[in-house]
Amino acid sequence: MAKKRVMVAMSGGVDSSVALAKLIDEGYECIGVSMQLWDYSKKEDNKGATGGSCCSLDDINDARGVADRLNVPFYVVNVEEAFSKEVVEYFVASYLNGQTPNPCIKCNQVLKFEVLLKKALGLEADFLATGHYARIIKRENGYRLLKGVDKDKDQSYFLFTMNSDQLSRVLFPVGGMTKNEVREYARAKGLRTSEKRESQEICFVEEPSYADFLSSRVEAREGEIVDGSGRVLGSHGGLFNYTIGQRKGLNLSGGPFYVLDIDTVSNRLVVGQAAELYSGGLIAKDINWIDHAAEEAFLKGGLKGISSKIRYRHAGVGSTLTPAEDGRIKVAFSDPEKAVTPGQAVVFYKGEEVLGGGWIERAIK
């Protein structure tokens, strides 16, 4: 019987390196692939290093070295055009619209599980594998997405846009492992990435901060900082410098003040006290359901007993989901939550399983 063929997406980190090694040990025929996402020439320092970013030139070299060590073919796929359009332009446009984007979710959605998966199938691979800390199970009515075993590293939040067909063609080999186990596996295999540190930066931002990146591409418009009553407290140098809940960088006397709203229509930054950051729920749009049985139950009368994560490191809050206008969802929290941020994702869980999710449009009291 012929071996199943897997294209392994390699970021140059230890997780995708172990994903490749583990699949080889399990008897799969593997191909290693890295995506060339961005021109990193401006980001390199005088030693050719690129700091803590992911998918940099150094990362591609590390991925190639691991593939060579494990004796599998390795290729680099240039997806710069798609990345620029689908991720970078989205990133810039979101901030200009007063939202806080999540480029990693968009990259996963478009680049990995659309573009790269299509390339894998075009090469007659049976599966695409990545180093995500998440798990996939097969049920009678389709494939489901579960949290990773390592709760500190679980990345299921970033994968809510997937569907059952994609999940049937994707493998997450390290989803059932802890980070320590992954590093031990890499050491045992002698992989050069075994001690490599975690990626910390937005991979395409060459400048010292995302605000500098945006300033180099769009014109900053100065405006007023006001409180909830409209009283002018100061001025800002461009709304894209701020996000909901931010306290630092406001340069206001009194306080402390926190960003409550980013009003792009009037070009005003609305600030207030910490207690004003709490909301009883939110409205989400562009909903994707992985579990269609949950979707059907929701459409018939809503869903109760759901846990909603409103940002990656959020612990989750008990929620009731009900239909809202134009296909949107109203999420009512069991307890008020702090800093509900438009542009971020809200992901719905039932225990360990991801039911689906959407994009936060606005908070509701």
pLDDT one-digit tens code per residue, 3-21: 899 999 999 999 999 999 9
- Among residues 55, 24, 8, the alpha carbon closest in space to that of 170 is found at 8
Distances (CA, A) of 130 to 23, 103, 175: 11, 17, 10
| pLDDT at residue 45 tops 90 | no
- The whole-number pLDDT of residue 92 equals 95
pLDDT on residue 1: 63
pLDDT digits (tens, 9 = 90+) for 157-202: 999 999 999 999 999 999 999 999 999 999 999 999 999 988 766 7
CATH no. of 5-189: 3.40.50.620
Residue 107 is among the residues annotated as catalytic for this protein:
yes
3-class SS letters over 18-72: HHHHHHHHCCCEEEEEEEECCCCCCCCCCCCCCCCCCCCHHHHHHHHHHHHHCCC
The pLDDT, as a whole number, for residue 164 is 95
Q: Is the pLDDT of residue 46 over 60?
A: no
Ranges 10-19, 50-59, 86-95: which has the least confidence: 50-59
* Residue 104 known to be catalytic: no
Angstrom distance (rounded) from CA 165 to CA 323: 25
When pLDDT is cut at 50, 70 and 90, the band that residue 57 belongs to is confident
Region 220-272: CATH code? 2.30.30.280
| Residue 45: exposure state from Cβ atoms within 10 A (0-12, 13-18, ≥19) | exposed
Tell me which fold the domain 278-364 belongs to: Elongation Factor Tu (Ef-tu); domain 3 (2.40.30)
Q: Which helix (H) or strand (E) holds 261?
A: strand 258-263
- 54 pLDDT above the threshold of 70: no
95-111: average pLDDT: 95
**CA gap 71, 127 in Å, rounded:** 19
Q: Contact at 8 Å (CB) between 175 and 169?
A: no
Q: List the domain boundaries for the chain.
A: 5-189, 220-272, 278-364
Q: Which band of pLDDT confidence, cut at 50, 70 and 90, is reported for residue 135?
A: very high
Q: Is the pLDDT of residue 47 over 60?
A: no
Give burial (CB, 10 Å; 0-12/13-18/19+) of 218: middle
Dihedral sign for Cα atoms in the order 32, 36, 41, 42: negative
Is the pLDDT assigned to residue 61 strictly greater than 90? Answer: yes
Q: What is the pLDDT of residues 329-361, one digit of tens each?
A: 999 999 999 999 999 999 999 999 999 999 999
User: How many percent of the chain have pLDDT more than 90?
Assistant: 84
Task: Return the structure tokens found at 175.
Answer: 């989803």
pLDDT band at 48 (very low <50, low <70, confident <90, very high): very low
pLDDT for the residue 230: 95
Please report the pLDDT score of residue 118 as a whole number: 96
Query: Which pLDDT does position 269 carry in this prediction?
Result: 97
Are 61 and 17 a contacting pair, CB within 8 Å?
no
Nearest to 122 by CA among 114, 130, 134, 132: 114
Q: Which long-range contacts (CB under 8 A, 24 or more apart) does 40-45 make?
A: 40/206, 42/206, 43/206
Structure confidence at residue 49 as a pLDDT band (50, 70, 90): very low
Mean pLDDT of 94-122: 95
Please tell me the total number of residues recorded for the chain in this structure: 365
Alpha helices in the chain (DSSP H): 14-25, 57-69, 80-83, 89-96, 103-106, 117-122, 164-167, 179-189, 210-215, 292-301
Are 146 and 136 spatial neighbours (Cβ–Cβ below 8 Å)?
yes
Mean pLDDT to the nearest integer, 270-278? 97
Q: What is the pTM of this model?
A: 0.93
- Span 145-153, mean pLDDT? 97
Q: What is the bridge-based pairing of β-strands 5-9 and 29-36?
A: parallel
Give the Cβ contact number of residue 130 at 10 Å: 26
Compute the average pLDDT of residues 28-41.
86
For the cut 80, the answer to whether the pLDDT of residue 308 exceeds it is yes
| Backbone torsions φ then ψ of 239, nearest 5 degrees | -65, -25
Q: What is the mean pLDDT of the chain?
A: 93
Question: How are beta strands 170-171 and 303-309 bridged, if at all?
Answer: unpaired
The predicted structure's pLDDT at residue 41: 55
